[in-house]
Amino acid sequence: MKHFTWNFQHLFDNDNDPEIENQRKVVIKKSYDFINKWKNRKDYLRDPVMLRQALDEYERWKRSYGTDGKEGYYFWLRTSQDQNNPLLKAKHNNAENLSKKIENDIRFFYIRIAKISKRQQRHFLESPCLRPYKHFLERIFVESRFLLSEPEEKILNLKASPSYSNWVKMTSSFLSREMRTVILEDGNRDTLSFAEILSLMNSQNKKVRDTASKAFNDIMYQYVDVAESEINAILQNKKIDDELRKISRPDLTRHINDDIESEIVDTLVKTVSDRFDIPSQFYALKAKLLKVKLLKYHERNVELGNSNKKYAFRDSVKLVYHALRSLDSEFVEIFTRFINNGQFDVYPRKGKVSGAFCAHHLISQPTYILLNHTNKLRDVLTLAHELGHGINNELIKKKQHALHFGTPTSTAEVASTFMEDFVLQEILKKADDELKFSIMTTKLNDEVSTIFRQIACYRFEQELHQEFRLKCYLSKGDIGRLFQKHMSSYMGDSVEQSPGSENWWVYWSHIRSFFYVYSYASGLLISKSLQNSVKENPRFIKKVKEFLSAGLSDSPKAIFKKLGIDIANRSFWERGLTEIETLLKETITLSRKLGKIR
């Protein structure tokens, strides 16, 4: 491996490359060529042949230039490598300013297409010459169904901050300012921030986690009245918007944005909640392993087992190679290319952003993956996860045009979790029993949280919006009761809804991004269901690849239908749940073998 940081040769030579200025001029010229050509015309809104021509030109613009060309991508990547460099920040802002201006000037194209009559929409969707852009147009038309007039949209846009985001920001900023004195792992006391207290609740030391949870409950209690007002305000705002737009169910906006049919989300929610016995059994196992009769609410994430095996980056790469080799040769090729071309930024450095991501921008530009590899097991899985996103991007690039480049939220995490799980199996092959136990319990804990907890949360949100629409105001007591009802529905009898936990909705930021949480469950369960099929028949990987190549060319439902899979059918989701049930059974067997339970 030659590079451990990104090689930018396909973008620019350095931060002061004179080519940056030249490229900027090209982007401006290409953008305004398009804008000036189509701005004052109406023919493309009537004639499919003209619309095809306009869309072809729009696609070419989006493929190679977009609103910020190479410049925006380059400086965005550079600032993530070096966050504290003011010169880079300035250059990035400069690129963003231009991008915003072009974005505003080119918006007319999208808006005018959205506003054509229903009859004309049908005509366009049936037109053979527009077939390559069919789903792109379908999505615009579905959204347009709920759009109000231009001045009304403008007002809704302007009032969004005072009636929604300012409220949400208020609660989260109050919470983030809080500090409390707690007991640390080493037995000393210290005053810690809200985020630090949150992570201490997972400590294996009971005294540490119990003191942290006391402090946490205290903060929740302090802000529950404020949060009651906040939640009621944003629920009312949502109700007003939905009524104005004539949206029948509160979660419909989410489904439309995510390009997923409501019936599919309904099937997912129903199928998962019918199997709440799986998380209940998991928590019963966990209580036994921790040798308590009942887990307290805050103890559900306590780590079990100790794994401190180290994985140097070279070893991680090898493990991932092995896993990919057994799946598909093209996956291996893509990974090799990424490694040889310097598309990874591997190690932590001062000023580099934390965490990990896989970046893509225009369809014609290379993928870049940022890691912070510290030789832990988690880091191997992160490499696999981000590489999964990268492989997904490359497969889409090969098959789709620029207007269908991307993944809908409902399936964005399929490729990443798919690779992660196959790499994990590779690790398990060589692990001793203690390491296996530690990996399997961590994995189960993650999956229970990602699938069952998020679906319980989704159902909590559904009832929250319904109740609000019935009663017009919900007290903190009302909200707390609903919250505990749904939390205990998936946790079962081995977790106590301990005093204070009725207020934990106060800090749960996702319930403010209404109904977002289902997408955690859908992504992982689709991935699990596909894994289950690949394990049964390795040749199924061809179908997985077709799905991963489809990008935004159709809705997930239609893409799977072409592959002969019906995701509106509960058996599809049940296949995914089977994977988790199997892992749970294996973990119980291993716990017995190791004498951790009887």
Residues 6+ apart with CB under 8 A from 198: 212, 216
Is 416 a binding residue for Zn ion by CB under 5 A? The answer is yes
Considering the complex, state which of residue 217 and residue 407 has its C-beta at the smaller distance from Zn ion: 407
Least Cβ distance, residue 523 to Zn ion (angstroms): 8
Which region among 38-46, 370-378, 398-406, 416-424 touches Zn ion (by CB under 5 A)?
A: 416-424
Q: Measured in Å, how far apart are the chain's first and last C-alpha atoms? A: 48
Three-state SS string over 39-62 comes to: CCCCHHHCCHHHHHHHHHHHHHHH
Is 410 a binding residue for Zn ion by CB under 5 A? The answer is no
Which region among 174-182, 335-343, 413-421, 487-495 touches Zn ion (by CB under 5 A)?
A: 413-421
- Kindly give the interhelix angle for 313-325 and 414-430, rounded to the nearest 10 degrees: 100
Strand bridging mode 368-370 / 344-345? parallel
Coil, strand or helix: which one is 32?
helix
Considering the complex, state which of residue 416 and residue 488 has its C-beta at the smaller distance from Zn ion: 416
Considering the complex, state which of residue 271 and residue 343 has its C-beta at the smaller distance from Zn ion: 343
Least Cβ distance, residue 75 to Zn ion (angstroms): 23
Considering the complex, state which of residue 381 and residue 444 has its C-beta at the smaller distance from Zn ion: 381
Considering the complex, state which of residue 414 and residue 565 has its C-beta at the smaller distance from Zn ion: 414
Residue type at 251 in one-letter notation: D
Total residues at the site for Zn ion (CB under 5 A)? 1
What residue has token string 């010169």? Answer: 87
Least Cβ distance, residue 416 to Zn ion (angstroms): 4
Least Cβ distance, residue 453 to Zn ion (angstroms): 18
- What residue number has its CB nearest to Zn ion? 416
Considering the complex, state which of residue 171 and residue 416 has its C-beta at the smaller distance from Zn ion: 416
Which region among 52-60, 173-181, 195-203, 408-416 touches Zn ion (by CB under 5 A)?
A: 408-416
Considering the complex, state which of residue 250 and residue 388 has its C-beta at the smaller distance from Zn ion: 388
| Cα angle, residue 418 at apex, residues 347 and 345 outer, rounded to 5° | 15
Which region among 13-21, 307-315, 328-336, 412-420 touches Zn ion (by CB under 5 A)?
A: 412-420
Considering the complex, state which of residue 253 and residue 416 has its C-beta at the smaller distance from Zn ion: 416
Residues 6+ apart with CB under 8 A from 427: 319, 377, 380, 439
Neighbours of 531 (CB within 10 A): 20
Give CA separation, 269 vs 85, 197, 465, 558, in Å. 46, 32, 17, 20
Considering the complex, state which of residue 358 and residue 583 has its C-beta at the smaller distance from Zn ion: 358
Give the span between the Cα atoms of 578 and 271, in whole angstroms: 12
Which string of b and e fits 481-507 if b means at least 16 CB within 10 Å? ebbbebbbbbbbebbbbeebbbbbbbb
| Backbone angles phi and psi of 368, in degrees to 5 | -130, 135
Token pair, residue 148, equals: 């109000």
Considering the complex, state which of residue 260 and residue 419 has its C-beta at the smaller distance from Zn ion: 419
Least Cβ distance, residue 413 to Zn ion (angstroms): 5
| Cα angle, residue 205 at apex, residues 202 and 211 outer, rounded to 5° | 75
Coil, strand or helix: which one is 183?
strand
Give CA separation, 112 vs 53, 109, 257, in Å. 16, 6, 19
Which region among 65-73, 93-101, 414-422, 425-433 touches Zn ion (by CB under 5 A)?
A: 414-422
Least Cβ distance, residue 386 to Zn ion (angstroms): 7
Least Cβ distance, residue 361 to Zn ion (angstroms): 17
Using alpha carbons, select from 483, 486, 518, 520 the residue that is nearest to residue 504. Answer: 483
Least Cβ distance, residue 358 to Zn ion (angstroms): 7
Instruction: Please report, as residue ranges, which positions from 476 to 505 form the binding site for Zn ion (by CB under 5 A).
Output: none
Least Cβ distance, residue 409 to Zn ion (angstroms): 11
Which region among 293-301, 335-343, 399-407, 409-417 touches Zn ion (by CB under 5 A)?
A: 409-417
Least Cβ distance, residue 260 to Zn ion (angstroms): 18
Considering the complex, state which of residue 86 and residue 355 has its C-beta at the smaller distance from Zn ion: 355
Least Cβ distance, residue 429 to Zn ion (angstroms): 24
Considering the complex, state which of residue 344 and residue 483 has its C-beta at the smaller distance from Zn ion: 344
Least Cβ distance, residue 353 to Zn ion (angstroms): 15
Least Cβ distance, residue 410 to Zn ion (angstroms): 13
Which region among 194-202, 242-250, 411-419, 507-515 touches Zn ion (by CB under 5 A)?
A: 411-419
Least Cβ distance, residue 365 to Zn ion (angstroms): 19
Give the span between the Cα atoms of 389 and 381, in whole angstroms: 13
Q: Judge whether 317 and 382 are in contact, CB under 8 Å.
A: no
Give the span between the Cα atoms of 475 and 88, in whole angstroms: 48
User: In 187-333, which ranges are E strands?
Assistant: 189-193, 295-296
Give CA separation, 35 vs 49, 61, 68, 106, 240, in Å. 19, 11, 15, 6, 36
Give the span between the Cα atoms of 423 and 319, in whole angstroms: 7
Is 393 a binding residue for Zn ion by CB under 5 A? The answer is no
Considering the complex, state which of residue 279 and residue 388 has its C-beta at the smaller distance from Zn ion: 388
Which region among 205-213, 410-418, 544-552, 554-562 touches Zn ion (by CB under 5 A)?
A: 410-418
Considering the complex, state which of residue 238 and residue 453 has its C-beta at the smaller distance from Zn ion: 453
Coil, strand or helix: which one is 553?
coil
Residues at the site binding Zn ion, with contacts judged by CB under 5 A:
416
